[in-house]
Amino acid sequence: MTDTALIVIDVQNDFCPGGALAVAGGDLIVPGITALMADAGAVVLTQDWHPGDHSSFASQHAGRAPMEQIDMPYGPQVLWPDHCVQGRDGAEFHPDLNTSRADMILRKGFRRDIDSYSAFFENDQTTPTGLDGYLRSRGIGKLVFCGLATDFCVAWSALDAAKLGFDVSVRLDLCRAIDMGGSLDAALGRMKDMGIALQRG
Ligand code: VGL
Ligand code: ZN
């Protein structure tokens, strides 16, 4: 269907077992994503792409540890282990992800002072990435999301897409979550409240 895009969020080495911010079972979703690509009108891959001194890294904040939360000028921010550093192996896509099927590869989180969970807006929820315009100019109105992690980059992207007026579904069976401090349940609740179709197959 030419009006439907598959948006594959951050299926990168650092979010897979053995990576710096490994999500349990992150690698297991790759074959199912490959199968979904066959029917998609368009395929967009996103890539978390941070400078080595990114402000979301706990290593940049004296006395702070990964998974703590701090207040940034744009709002609360979880501090992460160093991950998806530009040009390093951890930032590469999982080797089995079919990158040649991608119409577009969108990199995000490349500004030192601001994180970008969502594929549409950075974490100030204002600065656009350009993806909205790309999809609209291609006449795409329906989006199917999958990838990593359910409760962060997938949820924030899907929620922004719904706010922007796209018809949104999330293939939960082709996502995996970080799930810290109730983050998965909270994200699922927010997506449900926004009318996003949560599918398990
Ligand atoms: C993500 C935390 C930090 C994600 C990216 O892809 O969900 N999570 N950076
Ligand atoms: Zn990141």
Task: Provide the pLDDT for residue 134.
Answer: 98
Active-site residue flag, 108:
yes
Q: From the CA of 195, how far away is ligand 2's center (Å)?
A: 26
- Among candidate residues 27, 82, 108, 160, the one labeled active-site is 108
* Ligand (nearest to CA of 85): 2
* pTM score, whole prediction: 0.98
State the virtual CA torsion across 94, 96, 100, 102 in degrees, nearest 10. -60
- CA 83 – ligand 1 centroid, Å: 9
- pLDDT tens string, the chain, 201 residues long: the values are 789 999 999 999 999 999 999 999 999 999 999 999 999 999 999 999 999 999 999 999 999 999 999 999 999 999 999 999 999 999 999 999 999 999 999 999 999 999 999 999 999 999 999 999 999 999 999 999 999 999 999 999 999 999 999 999 999 999 999 999 999 999 999 999 999 999 999
How many CB atoms lie under 10 A from the CB of residue 119?
30
* pLDDT computed for residue 5 by the predictor: 98
pLDDT of residue 54: 98
Alpha helices of 13-74 — where are they, by DSSP H? 30-37
Nearest CA to ligand 1 atom 6: 153
- Whose atoms come closest to the Cα of 80: which ligand? 1
Note the pLDDT of residue 115: 98
Q: Per the residue annotation, which of 84, 153, 160, 175 is the catalytic one?
A: 153
Q: What pLDDT was estimated at residue 143?
A: 98
Q: Give the three-state DSSP class for 191.
A: helix
Q: What lines the ligand 1 site, CB under 6 Å? A: 10, 15, 48, 80, 117, 148-149, 152-153
> 101 CA to middle of ligand 2, Å?
24
90 CB contacts (<8 Å, ≥6 apart)? 12, 13, 14, 19, 20, 83, 84
Confidence at residue 1, expressed as pLDDT on a 0 to 100 scale = 73
Which atom of ligand 1 is closest in space to residue 10's alpha carbon?
6
